[in-house]
Chain A
Amino acid sequence: MAERVFAAKLQGAGFADVWVGGHRPSGIDEASHYPLFTEEVIELMRKTLPTDRHDHVATGVIVKARKPADASELGR
């Protein structure tokens, strides 16, 4: 999911003050530490992704937002 899509989904759900930060690149070597990625898919990433993307396949982010305190805040 792209960052802008994530933010849009939060706004669509009704959240206010959506903030995205704490950006951290995540690459294939990092993914290989997670047992959920099989060796096959790690190898597939190395073969199919351009070398310049190996260190940055995805981006770790923190997303913060707030539920409006009352109905008057909605739609502002």
Chain B
Amino acid sequence: MAKDLMFQDEIKEAVRDAYAGISAGAGETVARWLYSDEELAEVPPGAVAWALGVGNPVRYAMLQPGEVVLDVGSGGGIDSILAARRVGPKGSVIGLDLLEEMCERGRTHAKEAGVDGWTEFRRGEMEDVPFPDGSVDVVISNGVMNLSARKSRALAEIFRVLRPGGRISLADLTVEGELPPEIANDQSAWAG
């Protein structure tokens, strides 16, 4: 049991260090693969530059005005801002990220986008979401669930904070078959 916990802590530390150590996101090239021109026009350039996701969860989330959205692993805020555009000022968006510096980037970009009045960013962990039961209408995330060493725990937390009838739209990477162990066990591959 102790060895397993140590392994989980090592993964969390590796992910935290990897994200804390980068000075830019994947950038506009990647963002253009994932988002339409119209969607990219809705967010400030800084949020586009800091995009680190692997899909477009907002496009599939069918967000409605007035809904409360939680963006797990909000990073530079691109998906939180897109969500904020859709729920409008009668709704709200909360970006949750492991790193305070990412939250600060999200706040800056939300302010530039003019959605900061109903969009906030909080530091926290997906395995211990700092929100009450049933307090959220929709949970989105983008390339984040795979980073958790405790995926079932993270999903249970998402389930807990959703209201009954609430929904999720998660973008992530799946891998079929085995990767060579030198890749599967590499810290960079875990974080990426």
Instruction: Please say whether chains A and B are actual partners in one complex.
Output: yes
Give the number of chain A interface residues (Cβ < 8 Å). 42
Nearest Cβ distance between residue B191 and chain A, in whole angstroms?
5
Please, what's the 1-or-0 string for B130-170, where 1 marks a CB less than 8 Å from any CB in chain A?
A: 00000000000000011000011001101100111111111
A15 to B189, CA, bound (A): 29
Please, what's the 1-or-0 string for A37-60, where 1 marks a CB less than 8 Å from any CB in chain B?
A: 110110011001100000001111
Evaluate contact between A49 and B180: CB separation under 8 angstroms. Answer: yes
Interface of A, helix, strand, loop or mixed by DSSP: mixed
Give the number of chain B interface residues (Cβ < 8 Å). 50
Most buried by A among B25, B61, B171, B173: B173
Nearest Cβ distance between residue A5 and chain B, in whole angstroms?
8
Nearest Cβ distance between residue B100 and chain A, in whole angstroms?
18
Total cross-chain contacts (CB, 8 A): 137
Evaluate contact between B188 and A40: CB separation under 8 angstroms. Answer: yes
A38 to B57, CA, bound (A): 26
A13 to B145, CA, bound (A): 14
A75 to B88, CA, bound (A): 35
| In-complex Cβ contact of B175 among A1, A14, A63, A69 (8 A) | A1
Q: Please, which residue of chain A has its CB at the minimum distance from the CB of B148? A: A1
| In-complex Cβ contact of B174 among A2, A12, A40 (8 A) | A2
6 A-B pairs with C-beta separation under 8 A: A13-B155, A13-B159, A34-B26, A35-B22, A36-B18, A61-B172
Which B positions have Cβ atoms within 8 angstroms of A?
Answer: 18-19, 22-27, 29-30, 33, 52, 54-57, 60-61, 145-146, 151-152, 155-156, 158-159, 162-176, 179-180, 182-183, 186, 188-189, 191-192
